[in-house]
Amino acid sequence: MAKPNQDIPQGDSDEKLDQLKAFQEAAGDQALTTNQGLPLNDDTDSLKAGRRGPTLLEDFHLREKITHFDHERIAERIVHARGSAAHGFFQVYESMASDTKAGFLQDPTRKTPVFVRFSTVAGSRGSSDLARDARGFAVKFYTEEGNYDLVGNNIPVFFIQDAIKFPDLIHAVKPEPNNEMPQAASAHDTFWDFISLMPESMHMIMWVMSDRAIPRSYRMMEGFGVHTFRFVNEAGRSQFVKFHWKPLLGVHSVVWDEAKKISGNDPDFHRRDLWEAIENGDFPEWELGVQLIDEADEHKFDFDLLDATKLIPEELVPVRRIGKMVLNRNPENFFAETEQVAFHPGHLVPGIDFSNDPLLQGRLFSYTDTQLIRLGGPNSHEIPINRAVAPVHNNQRDGHMRQTINTGSVSYQPNTIGGGCPFQAGKAMGGFASHPEAMESPKIRGKSDKFFDHFTQAALFFQSQSPPEQQHMVQALRFELGKVTRLAIRERMLVMLNQIDKDLASQVATGLGINVPAGVAGPLNLGFPADADPAAYQPTPAKPVKTLSPALSMANTPKDSIRTRKVAILAADGVDDASLQAMQQALKAAGAMGKIVAPHGGSLKSANGATVPIDHSLLTTSSVLFDAVFVPGGAASVATLGNEADARHFINEAFKHCKAIAAADEGVSLLAQAALKDVLPAIAAGPLKSEHGVVTGGRADSDGLAREFIEAIAQHRHWSRELKPQVPA
């Protein structure tokens, strides 16, 4: 019997009518109803006065349905509107009792459920995943002591030092208010106007101009709590802590030209990647890392631990990996879960506490406030995705959309009528108590002197990058500032960059076709009060970088696996069975996916007459959606592909984006017909060869070819190609 949601056959046959009947019978308890549960006979025509008459106001079904539809959208998040999420769990490796009493960090056998939402910051809910932007990395732990939210980003620092500047930052980066352009892009005048007046943003700007801002996948991003927090153990000992998420697949990014093209080809690229990985059982994994700092060492650093524009280099304080998070379940319903989830840095558990970071302190207000407007009232904690697994008892009552039916007459404390319940837990029962940090200071608006070193860590980041990464940053700045129409803004930015790295500034200036103006940044900063001494706001010059931080460069990420990578196999009728199968098997064994891309959809016939299903036609996909390309042998297949401009372009583009490319037998000639022969003259069919991530070989070498290709894919990208003349793509 047909089941609900199955396809009904096409046409008007008796078979169709039978199946329809069976289908309806099976649907049984799923008959269409109103929201009051009233079964409905007709959802096709509205109720009218006669067949051609006007619609009647009495049509309660029509009105209910349309009203609900009219209210289907809620305000999107003012920032981080575009996001994707998944369920999973977290497990600590060993008890952290000596450092924190947080319950979910005690028992290695306990799996704490999590819901994780990744996001871009600036774009609207429907914008492209591949915007140049920081990515949100928000984790909700449903612990037995209440929900704990670690609401971080994929970048360990932030643009501003104090929450009071957040509305300015976001107004500057969002589309300009007169014409609502550009969408999900920082490359416009208002953003760079603001940034060029905010020296404190320079460290974050280095990160955002790096390839970190265009990740290959959410699964291949680091995450950071950004602020300094506190761990507090049972004895009340407090230490400072920085949180890190380390992806087990390594940290990888795409290149900017590719990001722009992905935005057109598949704006859901990251969303799809996360969804498909989980559906395929390739569960994304991260290790949670902590950097712990003794309270006694609070002031031993050159920077202030309370300044969110600074990081603690891993080389100075190692990251200790304390547990693992696995995402293993996609949401059932995007709106109910991903859209309605409400994170809050103030959702804490005993054993974790705040620092006085002024950015964090402001966030503590903002997130409650935003949920009130976005989710429509004070009861958003009752929405299933936000509900604590720990029991909730308090005297809060009523309000918009209240779900709980509180019983009894008592909604106040203290009381005797309710037996004193809910009573105040007290420390002995694990009640939360804020860390009793000593404090006696004048009430002022200001910050400590160390906050004014805006350039040293920006320089540390830039100088710790590999040469290709540095070059990408130069290009990113040329692109972004090249889109700025006002010369004065571009010049102010060059002055800033010059204080980070002279070579960086001069290379960007060359690209912009202007000179680096003389002078130092600082008095340019208009962001000080009118009656203040500008000298008090003068940034301190960058200190020379004595020790680089290799951990900041993605060049040093693990590159030992091709698990979950997507490889395009370019093929047409007459493809060689042996080379196709050998490569497909080798890729599968290594955990990657080979996808057949052909001039048309459907299936193709191999040289031996086998039917090979096609995954994508050249029209419906693009090289930018893959990590690598393989061209199997087969004279007819290669001849057909050679006549397809899209096939040649596919290879050129993959080459331009420095991806691994392999070809077997006749397939090698397709590489030559694409423009690769101009830059790799040695390309020709023959014995196994591997040069700049382009691997070629004959059928006799198919094991070696696959091995070399897999090694080349594991490298992620072959940047040495960027030093060669560019192929047209």
Asked if 163 is part of the footprint of ligand HDD (rule: CB under 6 A), the reply reads yes
- The C-alpha atoms of residue 306 and residue 444 are separated, in whole angstroms, by 16
One residue of 82, 87, 261, 363 binding ligand HDD per CB under 6 A = 363
- The C-alpha atoms of residue 694 and residue 675 are separated, in whole angstroms, by 13
One residue of 166, 192, 455, 630 binding ligand HDD per CB under 6 A = 166
Residue 414: is the preceding peptide bond cis (ω within 30°)? yes
Token pair for 451: 């906050």
One residue of 91, 370, 561, 617 binding ligand HDD per CB under 6 A = 370
One residue of 112, 127, 128, 153 binding ligand HDD per CB under 6 A = 153
Q: 549: Cβ–Cβ under 8 A, 6 or more apart, which residues? A: 313, 314, 315, 460, 461, 464
Annotated catalytic, 153? yes
Strand partners, 329: 87
Q: What one-character-per-residue DSSP string does 427-453 give?
A: GGGT--------------S---GGGG-
Radius of gyration of the chain (CA): 29
Active-site residue identified among 61, 87, 147, 153: 153
One residue of 151, 206, 385, 628 binding ligand HDD per CB under 6 A = 151
- The C-alpha atoms of residue 461 and residue 497 are separated, in whole angstroms, by 13
Token pair for 423: 């009573």
Residue nearest to ligand HDD (CB): 136
Stretch that binds ligand HDD, among 150-158, 240-248, 435-443, 638-646 (CB under 6 A): 150-158
Annotated catalytic, 600? no
List binders of ligand HDD among 274-333 (CB under 6 A): 308
Considering the complex, what minimum distance in angstroms separates the CB of residue 403 from ligand HDD?
20
Query: Do 661 and 650 contact (CB within 8 A), yes or no?
Result: no
When the beta carbons of 195 and 729 are compared against ligand HDD, the nearer one is 195
When the beta carbons of 156 and 693 are compared against ligand HDD, the nearer one is 156
Measured CA to CA in angstroms, residue 611 lies from 573, 574, 606, 632 at distances of: 9, 10, 6, 16
Active-site residue identified among 61, 80, 87, 203: 80
One residue of 136, 223, 351, 522 binding ligand HDD per CB under 6 A = 136
When the beta carbons of 163 and 614 are compared against ligand HDD, the nearer one is 163
Considering the complex, what minimum distance in angstroms separates the CB of residue 346 from ligand HDD?
11
Considering the complex, what minimum distance in angstroms separates the CB of residue 305 from ligand HDD?
14
List binders of ligand HDD among 191-230 (CB under 6 A): 226-227
Q: Measure CA 720 to chain center.
A: 27
List binders of ligand HDD among 76-105 (CB under 6 A): 77-80, 83
Token pair for 596: 């057949």
Asked if 343 is part of the footprint of ligand HDD (rule: CB under 6 A), the reply reads yes
- The C-alpha atoms of residue 340 and residue 319 are separated, in whole angstroms, by 33
Asked if 158 is part of the footprint of ligand HDD (rule: CB under 6 A), the reply reads yes
Query: Do 245 and 286 contact (CB within 8 A), yes or no?
Result: yes
- The C-alpha atoms of residue 352 and residue 239 are separated, in whole angstroms, by 10
- Backbone torsion region of residue 634, taken as left when φ is above 0, otherwise alpha when ψ lies between -120 and 50, otherwise beta: left
Q: How many residues in the shown chain lie near ligand HDD by CB under 6 A?
A: 27
Stretch that binds ligand HDD, among 56-64, 148-156, 297-305, 486-494 (CB under 6 A): 148-156
Per DSSP, helices labelled H in 531-656 are: 577-589, 635-642, 645-656
Q: Which of 505, 541, 543 has its CA nearest to residue 522?
A: 541
When the beta carbons of 92 and 160 are compared against ligand HDD, the nearer one is 160
Q: What one-character-per-residue DSSP string does 339-404 give?
A: IT----TT---TTEE----HHHHHHHHHHHHHHHHHSSSTTGGGSGGG--SS----S----TT---
One residue of 101, 117, 140, 174 binding ligand HDD per CB under 6 A = 117
Considering the complex, what minimum distance in angstroms separates the CB of residue 683 from ligand HDD?
46
Stretch that binds ligand HDD, among 24-32, 145-153, 193-201, 411-419 (CB under 6 A): 145-153
Asked if 119 is part of the footprint of ligand HDD (rule: CB under 6 A), the reply reads yes
Stretch that binds ligand HDD, among 29-37, 73-81, 346-354, 444-452 (CB under 6 A): 73-81
Query: Do 293 and 229 contact (CB within 8 A), yes or no?
Result: no
Asked if 366 is part of the footprint of ligand HDD (rule: CB under 6 A), the reply reads yes
Stretch that binds ligand HDD, among 296-304, 362-370, 455-463, 514-522 (CB under 6 A): 362-370
User: Catalytic site residues?
Assistant: 80, 153
Which residues contact ligand HDD (rule: CB under 6 A)?
77-80, 83, 117, 119, 136, 138, 151-153, 158, 163, 166, 226-227, 308, 341-343, 359, 362-363, 366-367, 370
